[in-house]
Structure 1
């Protein structure tokens, strides 16, 4: 998450703490109570989004290399038998399709390429499963191939899905933070001007409201102090 978003969230929580701590004093402006409730709700919703984004693992639990190796073992076994079947049945197209080089399957094909080959292999053996029984390709082996394909596809697609999900949650968090900023700037801040004669109280609120971006914090503190001193 962006540091600026984290900084704003911290500032929002400080404002909520300030409003909660000074509930009695603020009762002279009843409408602030409803705004405080809205602020609490928005902060809670933001926290939930951040929690959900944080629960997404940065690395997948599955091991691509191990899962790929398991797929290749089955693919290689099926390919070798199918190569013999293609030769015996004089099926040139099938023979040209088959990759029965272990090194090619292990090292030359990218993840998506080996997955595509395995899927195509499964598509070719499934319709002729009965004919392949005599060559050593059993129904169990075909089922194992299908299972290994599904497992490998899950492992290689998982990172993209997690990245997309985390990105969506982060974008929703930023929208929620902007909504809080709007509530503070357009509704709560103007009402707090009623207390500008109470310098200590007013300064405490302004301090809570500071945007705590580390790069500009010192400048903002100075600006707020100058503003209060001029009141």
Structure 2
């Protein structure tokens, strides 16, 4: 998460706290009440998005190498049985499919190539599972092959999914930050001029509207530091 985004959100949270503590002072001003409601909602949604962004793993869960090894092992075991079966019943197509399969050949396959082979293997054995039982193939082995295929595919696609999810979430956060800034600058800030005589409320609001710029560690208002804190 960008430091400027975090700094702005922290400042917005302080504004919400200040307005919440002084609600009775503007409860009769309908426009101000509506603005505060919108602000509270936007800040809350942004908090949830930031929490979500922080929970998205930066690395793929699990161990792809381990999953690949387990998939190769069950694929080799299954292929060996299919090879014997195809030879005995003289199924040339099936025999050609598994004829050159070995630990070495499976190990040399690229990730997608290995996944495609295993899916095709599963498709080929599904109609003849009962016949393969006479050669040592079991329903448990079939289930294991299915599971290893699914696990390996998940590990292959998850990084892309995580990148996409993280990008979308960060874009939503930045969009919300812009909406909050616009709401404050164009609506609530001008509205606060109605409370200049209430020094405690007015000054506490102005103080809450200040942002700590993480680059310079200087406290500056949004309007004064728009260039420094720009994304």
TM-score of the superposition, structure 1-length normalised? 0.78
Q: Is the 8 A contact 2:212 2:219 kept in 1?
A: no
**Whole-angstrom CA distance in 1 between matches of 2:34 and 2:61:** 45
Q: Is the 8 A contact 1:211 1:217 kept in 2?
A: no
**Whole-angstrom CA distance in 1 between matches of 2:55 and 2:136:** 46
**Whole-angstrom CA distance in 1 between matches of 2:131 and 2:26:** 84
**RMSD value, Cα:** 3.1
Question: Per-residue deviation at 1:28?
Answer: 8.1
Partner of 2:36: 36
TM-score of the superposition, structure 2-length normalised? 0.78
Partner of 1:227: none
Question: Per-residue deviation at 1:12?
Answer: 0.8
Q: Which moved more, 1:88-97 or 1:119-128?
A: 88-97
Q: Which moved more, 1:56-65 or 1:143-152?
A: 56-65
1:102 aligns with 2:103: yes
1:190 aligns with 2:210: no
1:111 aligns with 2:111: yes
Partner of 1:86: 86
Per-residue displacement from partner, 1:169-188 (whole Å, max 9, x unpaired)?
22222222222112111111
- What does 1:9-24 correspond to in 2, within 5 Å? 9-23=9-23
**Whole-angstrom CA distance in 2 between matches of 1:12 and 1:147:** 47
Name structure 1 gaps, 5 residues minimum.
225-231
Q: Is the 8 A contact 1:18 1:205 kept in 2?
A: yes
SS in 2 for 1:130: helix
**Whole-angstrom CA distance in 2 between matches of 1:65 and 1:33:** 57
Name structure 2 gaps, 5 residues minimum.
225-231
1:72 aligns with 2:72: yes
- What does 1:73-222 correspond to in 2, within 5 Å? 73-98=73-98, 99-106=100-107, 108-194=108-194, 205-215=205-215, 218=218, 220=220
**Whole-angstrom CA distance in 1 between matches of 2:84 and 2:27:** 87
Question: Per-residue deviation at 1:74?
Answer: 0.8
Q: Which moved more, 1:120-129 or 1:132-141?
A: 132-141
